[in-house]
Amino acid sequence: MQLQFPLAHPLTIARTQVALPDGAFIRALPFAVNETQRFRIDAMVMCADIMASAYLQMIDVALRSKSETKQAEEQRSGHLDIAMFQHAWSMVDQIYSLRQLLGGLDFSGDDVDAFMSATSSAHVLRNRTDHLNQRIPNIAASKENSRSLFGTLSYFVLGAAVGAPEADVFAVIQQADPVRPGEQIGSVRMPGELRMPVGNFVLAAAGEKLDLDAAILTLGPLMTRTNDGFEKSIRAQTAEAAAKHGIEQSAVLTHYGARLKFMFAMKIGKPALQSEPADQGKEHPSTL
């Protein structure tokens, strides 16, 4: 089934705005930019890329996980359910870092306010896992009706999208760690807007809830404005500097480039079944 995601869906925003295009200006800032500021922007871009990737993978796993429930219990690996939490908590870490970076860059504006408001619970969630060992005695002694260490994750998915057209929509809630007797697993609230074919991801833990969709939707415009603003400002500054020193502007816009990946093809020699006495102790390097 070919799924269509609306332009305003978080998946689309993650692909086109949170993860900036390859040619985006702030993916490769010029040497002329203050180095501390350049490192912060590099970190911001990377955190946003990881967030976008994690959200896209959550979508993919959510669409595949229903098939695993159809398998016999002894055949279920559970790795898809764990993957959902892996990506959700990865988003928490990146959100926490982005909030710190925005403060370090002294950014302000309605889009910054919107992102900070939508992600205000990230600090509590991140501290829960960052200091998990120290917090466990208090969690164990707590009388709360939910003491899940890694919380619960909820979302909604179109029945037809997971091969169950007889159901309009599935409301999904899952918990990774053991369900303890007498404790509440979690709750799902019907959202004002269902983001179909799959969406409305919410991570709940430590008495806090983080709307992962809202994090993506508010970060997208912020990343776009950051890129456009930096490009306009830096191009104007470098044009002025180039004219002042009588050099080409392109020389002032020199940068390191963005992203790098090498794959080295190797041919590994087969080891001898039994070394000759004369060869013992000698090294046999691999061949390229």
pLDDT tens, 88-143? Answer: 999 999 999 999 999 999 999 999 999 999 999 999 999 888 888 988 898 888 87
Residue 163 domain flag: no
Q: Provide the pLDDT confidence category of residue 286 given band limits of 50, 70 and 90.
A: very low
The pTM of the full predicted model, rounded to 2 decimals, is 0.85
Name residue, tokens 């191009």.
235
Going by their DSSP bridges, the two strands 198-205 and 208-211 should be labelled as antiparallel
DSSP-assigned beta bridge partners for residue 158: 169
Name the H helices within the chain: 10-13, 35-69, 79-104, 110-118, 122-130, 132-141, 212-245, 249-252
In this predicted structure, what is the pLDDT of residue 288?
41
Residue 60 domain flag: yes
Residue 267 domain flag: no
Residue 273 domain flag: no
Instruction: Please say whether the dihedral angle defined by the alpha carbons of residues 266, 269, 270 and 274, taken in this order, is positive or negative.
Output: negative
Residue 43 lies in domain: 10-150+210-236
Residue 89 domain flag: yes
Instruction: Please say whether the dihedral angle defined by the alpha carbons of residues 126, 129, 130 and 134, taken in this order, is positive or negative.
Output: positive
Residue type, 110: D
Count Cβ neighbours within 10 Å for each residue of 214-238 and write b for 16 or more, e otherwise: bbbbbbbbbbbbbbeebeeebeeeb
Residue 256 domain flag: no
Q: Token pair of 86, please?
A: 């892996």
206 touches 152 (CB < 8 A)? no
DSSP-assigned beta bridge partners for residue 199: 156
DSSP-assigned beta bridge partners for residue 1: none
Give the full edge-to-edge strand order of the sheet including 152-158.
169-175, 152-158, 198-205, 208-211
Q: Higher confidence at residue 144 or residue 104?
A: 104
Digit-coded pLDDT (tens) for 163-180: 889 999 999 999 888 877
Name the domain count of the chain: 1
In this predicted structure, what is the pLDDT of residue 155?
96
